[in-house]
Amino acid sequence: MDALKRYLARVGTRRLIGLVLGNLILGIGCGAFKWAAVGNDPFSASSMALAAFLHIPYGYFNVLYNVLFFTFQIFWGRKYIGIGTIINWFCLGFTIQGAFDLMSKLGMPDTWPKKILVMAIGILVICLGLSLYQTSDTGLAPFDSISVMMHDYWRIPYFWCRIITDSFCALVTFLTGGLLGVGTLVCAFGLGPIIQFFNTHVSEKALRHKIGQTE
């Protein structure tokens, strides 16, 4: 218990708020993507597809799905485990499902202009959430750690490691009858510059911290 208190004190209130707020915003953005029905990011798409295929509520399945990736993380990436790992693992799926359920009460977007508008707003919301969550620097989600560990051990560029993990998720989505679409491609290749914008102009200033900064 004392170790936990020391850890939380070292992390600081600002970064903890950034972690929680970032995951909440990220969940709302992913829920908007699901509502738009134009394809989610590869990981969420595969998790949603498998949950539907196995008839398990998404929030619960997302927790179970992450057990697979956490198994690798605990053996080869313990340095990437923190309170952020736990919050993302156990809370994000339920936030996405809750946001989607609330949005669905408004009716599904039924035209492409509406879908694209929701997707565009979702992209901005997702990028802001990811920026806050990552800048809090409090531990990587189990799936996010896989590509980082591959980079550490295989010494190949991170970009290609992320392509491999995202391709795996896209394959799982396809094989289980899930939705792959323009939103999946945008999330796989187009979020980086927007996240960096939020890192520079919002998250680093608000949290007074940069990823990898000495504590």
User: Is 84 a domain residue?
Assistant: yes
User: Is 18 a domain residue?
Assistant: no
User: Is 27 a domain residue?
Assistant: no
DSSP code per residue over 50-74: HHHHHT--HHHHHHHHHHHHHHHHH
User: Is 14 a domain residue?
Assistant: no
Pair 191, 127: CB distance under 8 Å: yes
Per-residue pLDDT of the chain in tens (215 residues, 90 and over written 9): 777 677 777 878 899 999 999 999 999 999 998 899 888 888 989 999 999 999 999 889 999 999 999 999 999 999 889 999 999 999 998 999 999 999 999 999 989 999 999 999 999 999 999 889 888 889 889 998 898 899 888 988 877 888 888 889 989 999 999 888 888 888 877 777 888 889 889 998 998 887 666 55
User: Is 28 a domain residue?
Assistant: no
Surface-to-core class of residue 69, CB atoms within 10 Å of its CB (0-12 exposed, 13-18 middle, 19+ buried): buried
* Residue 21: per-residue pLDDT: 95
CB neighbour list of residue 56: distance below 8 Å, 6 or more residues apart = 64
Total of domains in the chain: 1
User: Is 79 a domain residue?
Assistant: yes
Rounded CA-CA distance 24/117 in Å is 21
Pair 81, 10: CB distance under 8 Å: no
* Residue 189: per-residue pLDDT: 75
DSSP 80: G
Structure tokens at 100: 């989607």
Residue span of the structural domain in which 60 resides: 45-207
User: Is 15 a domain residue?
Assistant: no
* Residue 113: per-residue pLDDT: 93
Rounded CA-CA distance 100/104 in Å is 6
Amino acid at 65: Y
User: Is 52 a domain residue?
Assistant: yes
pTM: 0.85
* Residue 75: per-residue pLDDT: 92
